[in-house]
Amino acid sequence: MTSSAADGGSTMTALVANHDWEATPLGPISKWPPHLRGVVDALLSNPAPGALLLGPSGLLIYNQGYAAICGNKHPAALGRTLEETWPEVWEFNRAVLAAGLAGRHQVFKGACFALERDGVLRDSWFDLFYGPVPDARGKIVGVLATVIEITDRVEAEQLYREQQTELDLVRKRLEAMSRASFDLTYRMSPDWSQMRQLEGRGFLRDTSDPSQVWVDDYIPEDERTRVHEAIARAIRDKAVFCLEHRVKRLDGSEGWTLSRAVPMLDGDGEISEWVGAASDISVRKANEERLKQADQRKDEFLAMLAHELRNPLAPVRTAADLLQTGRLQAPDVQRTSAVIGRQVSHMTGLIDDLLDVSRVTRGLVQIEIEPLQVTDLVLDAVEQATPLIQARNHRLRLELAPEEMPISGDRKRLVQVLSNLLNNAAKYTPPGGEIAVRTGVSYGWANIEVRDNGIGMSAELGERAFDLFVQGERTPDRATGGLGLGLPLVKSLVQLHGGTVHCVSEGVGKGSCFTVCLPCHRACASEPSAPARAALPDKPLHILIVDDNADAAEMMGELLQLSGHRTSVELGAHAALERGRRELPEAYLIDIGLPEMDGYAVARALRAQPATADALLVALTGYGQDNDRAQALAAGFDAHLIKPVEIAPLMDALARGRLNSRSAA
């Protein structure tokens, strides 16, 4: 098997290569025709679960994804027939094989089978795609199956339906209980104008006092019309009220509730009061929204992938038909062959993008570290992007820092990052636009900025720009092309180099700016000098990070370690003060919102201790008003940074150290 196959699934490649194929109708691999080897290589390189079914018995060759579906049937299933491997569904597979060998493409969505997997017979659901596989002469010799398991999704949907049924039962029980007791979650007057009682889990805002506007107290303004209309219908029809809607929660945030209320009728059939309950369904609604968005992105990506692959296939098919006529002269054959070559190269690029993202996200990419200069990387990337920039008549401006910017990294991958950003700028900027590349150094970090005056991004798209398969608005002509893989790959590759990347856009039609930050060698000479002060030693600092969010503290520690500092972490204020007396760090990063005592109190305590009075104190907080900064400085902090903390201001604060205006005491 080839190396490209190994990239997609080295374990299966080895198993296929070492399997005793002489005992099968295929014979040894050395005698396999080139066409079969090519199909098997492509199968093994594909991250999607797939299997090649050869002959009417369906002799199995499969990839790593399909091996996971096989469970304990793997690796024995390799080289065996479908009937031997999956006897419980052989009748289905036999019909599918027969149709595939007859040249039919087949799709089965949500197919359910009772399969023996890991020794247990259980229902499993799949989306199945079958396509015929011809040999070099065009004869159908097998079927290529793509097998997407959706068991988890189906079971989650079943669980959701069961929960809905259970909720209906709860409503009915509540109605029965209401006839026996008034001591329930809440009571309302017949016209819902007053809330008379509220008990229970207490996730909603307090409305226990009678109020003519109690409903509006905890329902967001844009939901009130819908809720009031549902209430009016329930009152008019004397029917059970049941509605999912947004609410204001005790902590001030918005959530979702399932509100239910049952009318209590008097002897004349009129409503005497209502009794009801409210359940917090915020988590469920959030999960539903995530599933909906993920499913939508999956569908959009599959449709986009099909479009992008069909486009180059069309001229390839036409060229093949022309060649089959046998009437083309030599120059015509050359032109037709060139068309096929260009389109195959385009398809190869698309597939390489898919494999690249797959390898990076699974940690299979090895980067080759060598000393590099940022300017050289930028010029190499510009050279790659120049044809597209010129084709779209853009003006390219380079503002490269005069000083050296030495970094360590993989030249090929970092040029790939920058050329991707430049190509995006060229594609998403109308013809005749402007693109600028600017480089600089800031406190040990090399910054590379790619700015354009193109179509820009909405705030919502900007937040998801680096998510997999995300793109801007897609037009039917797909003029800009692509699969939405470039920016996720950029982010992953930059992170592999210990750097960061972020994007900024003022909105649609206002251009975009992407900034890559990479750690310089410590020899980088262009760091701004610090102002005169009682300076910290010109050496890496020992920094104590004080934050009750363990993940945030650990990530901040790793970031500072990349810049050469030594870090410690404490999650509590008292432990931090004790550690400070013991280890005497030169600097502290302190979260203001600590549970035991707030960050202001910690700063005052550190300033009061002679051993820690001269330490550099940096406040980390989500509050960014002027009075918040003044309060931090008054408490003894030297700097006040707003979360999420950006790299440059943090390095600036550490470089500047103690403020000139603060005494050593």
pLDDT in tens, 366-415: 778 899 999 999 998 898 888 889 999 999 999 998 888 899 998 888 98
Indicate if 156-280 has the same CATH topology as 3-149. Answer: yes
* d(C-alpha 538, C-alpha 559), whole Å: 19
What CATH number has the domain spanning 3-149?
3.30.450.20
pTM score, two decimals?
0.37
Backbone angles phi, psi at 394, to 5 degrees: -85, 155
pLDDT for position 8:
42
pLDDT for position 197:
53
Superfamily of domain 156-280: PAS domain (3.30.450.20)
First-last CA distance in the chain: 72
* d(C-alpha 385, C-alpha 395), whole Å: 12
Q: Is 572 in a helix, a strand, or coil?
A: coil
Task: Tell me what percent of the residues of the chain surpass a pLDDT of 90.
Answer: 38
- Whether omega for the bond prior to residue 190 falls within 30 degrees of 0, making it cis, is no
pLDDT for position 454:
92
Nearest to 377 by CA among 388, 365, 385: 385
pLDDT for position 126:
94
Per DSSP, 249 falls in state B
Which residues are 127's β-sheet partners?
A: 148
* d(C-alpha 640, C-alpha 623), whole Å: 10
Which of left, alpha, beta for 407 (phi over 0: left; psi -120 to 50: alpha)?
A: beta
pLDDT in tens, 491-506: 888 888 889 998 888 8
For tokens 């500092």, what's the residue? 565
pLDDT for position 195:
66
**What residues does each domain of the chain span?**
3-149, 156-280, 286-361, 370-519, 542-656
Which residues are 195's β-sheet partners?
A: 188
> Which residues, including other chains, have CB under 8 Å from residue 88's CB and lie 6 or more apart?
113, 114, 115, 116, 121
pLDDT for position 402:
83
pLDDT in tens, 51-92: 999 999 999 999 999 998 988 889 999 999 999 999 989 999
Tell me if the domain spanning 370-519 has CATH number 3.30.565.10.
yes
Residue 495 is encoded by which pair of tokens? Answer: 């992170």
Nearest to 418 by CA among 453, 445, 383: 383
Tell me if the domain spanning 286-361 has CATH number 1.10.287.130.
yes
For the segment(s) 542-656, the CATH number from 3.40.120.10, 3.40.1440.10, 3.90.1150.10, 3.40.50.2300 is 3.40.50.2300
DSSP 293-327: HHHHHHHHHHHHHHHHHHHHHHHHHHHHHHHHHS-
CB 545 within 8 A of CB 589: yes
Inter-axis angle of helices 486-496 and 411-427, nearest 10: 150
pLDDT for position 362:
63
- Whether omega for the bond prior to residue 75 falls within 30 degrees of 0, making it cis, is yes
pLDDT in tens, 475-496: 443 344 555 667 888 888 888 8
CB 661 within 8 A of CB 629: no
pLDDT for position 357:
64
pLDDT means per 10 residues, the chain with 665 residues, are 48 91 91 92 92 92 92 92 91 93 94 85 92 92 94 91 76 53 58 62 50 70 90 91 85 82 83 81 84 73 64 75 81 81 71 66 73 92 89 92 87 89 92 94 90 87 68 46 70 87 89 92 45 43 90 80 87 92 93 88 93 92 75 91 77 68 36
